[in-house]
Amino acid sequence: MKLWSRIVAASVMVVCLAASALRGQEPAPDASTAKPAPGAITQESTALPDEAGLVRISKTDSVWIHPQRKLVVVDGEIAFRDGFLELFACPKGTKEHESLIAVDSKAYVVHAALLAVGAVPGRPVQFAPEYRAAEGPVVDVHILWRDDKGEKHTARAQTWIRNTKSQKEMEQDWVFAGSDFWVDEETGKKHYYAEEGDLICLSNFATAMMDLPIESTQSNDQLLFESFTERVPPKGTKVRLVLIPRPAKKPQAQPAEKPAAEKPAAEKPAPAAKDAAPSAS
């Protein structure tokens, strides 16, 4: 899938910053002695997690990557916690009226960070000529925050979202669909669609950076998800999202075929007996 130049440039910047940090040129805040397993999110490392390995990738956007653990960290806050949802997370100043969390970052920076830790986008949902769900690598989303007493908490993003039909927490995982871009015909400038708000979606959008791989309508009277209000901290609570792309499954090696056993050579048929010569009378 084509990605416009700002995403590519941001990705290069991310990789360079990561390399710089790994050489010790990027000081790490609040170094932790804990060494969790790659990709692991534990109670002890949450709220301000394991920052020794985090590399900030933008001076203006609150986005970090962890090169070794292959994860992305994005800061934000609770935006909307009581009602139907079309989004789990959006950039600030876009769709806070229908999104649980508003993040302190542009969408393309988060996209670039996912690229930098090895995630490869798939493709957004397709509605015509027939519905085809979004595709891409699964990205696990964790939420880290502190309560009003300063206690650390962590949760899977799904536990804050309720299915309006089953009344149970959301079961589906998000995929890195990758959104797309459009070109202003007058200026020739390229724009990343997800900047309009469609960062981590619950309703299907062809502009989604991350979407659900199931059919989930945008129709207001049929929305599939709502906030699990009793589990969500108060509006304005600062949160930290941790995005962990799952590694692609390696194709299973096919067992080698056993060489066919050699067939024994066919025995030559015995020569037919010749008729006895007629005796002389």
User: Both ends of the chain: CA-CA distance in Å?
Assistant: 100
Paired tokens of 182: 């459009």
Q: What pairing do the DSSP bridges indicate for beta strands 87-91 and 200-201?
A: antiparallel
Number of other residues whose CB lies within 10 A of the CB of residue 23: 8
Considering the entire predicted model, what is its pTM? Answer: 0.75
- What DSSP line would sit under 91-119, residue for residue? ETTSSGGGEEEEESS-HHHHHHHHHHTT-
Determine the pLDDT at residue 184.
87
- Residue 223 makes CB contacts below 8 A (sequence gap 6+) with 84, 85, 86, 164, 202, 203, 217
Determine the pLDDT at residue 169.
97
Determine the pLDDT at residue 261.
58
Residue 1 has pLDDT above 60, yes or no: no
pLDDT band at 188 (very low <50, low <70, confident <90, very high): confident
Residue 29 has pLDDT above 60, yes or no: no
Residue 113 has pLDDT above 90, yes or no: yes
Among 221, 226, 228, which Cα is nearest to 84's? 226
- What DSSP line would sit under 163-206, residue for residue? ETTT-SB--PPEEE----EEE-TTT--EEEGGGGS-SEESS--T
Give the sign of the dihedral formed by CA 105, CA 108, CA 109, CA 114: positive
Determine the pLDDT at residue 94.
98
Three-state secondary structure call for residue 6: helix
Of 83-87, 119-123, 242-246, 269-273, which range is least confident? Answer: 269-273
Determine the pLDDT at residue 99.
98
Determine the pLDDT at residue 248.
80
Residue 280 has pLDDT above 70, yes or no: no
Mean pLDDT over 16-27 rounds to 39
Determine the Cα–Cα distance for residues 130 and 126; give it in Å rounded to an integer.
Answer: 7
Determine the pLDDT at residue 250.
72
Determine the pLDDT at residue 205.
96
pLDDT tens readout for residues 74-109: 999 999 999 999 999 999 999 999 999 999 999 999
- The CA distances from residue 160 to 83, 88, 226, in Å, are 12, 9, 9
Which helix (H) or strand (E) is 132 found in, with range?
none
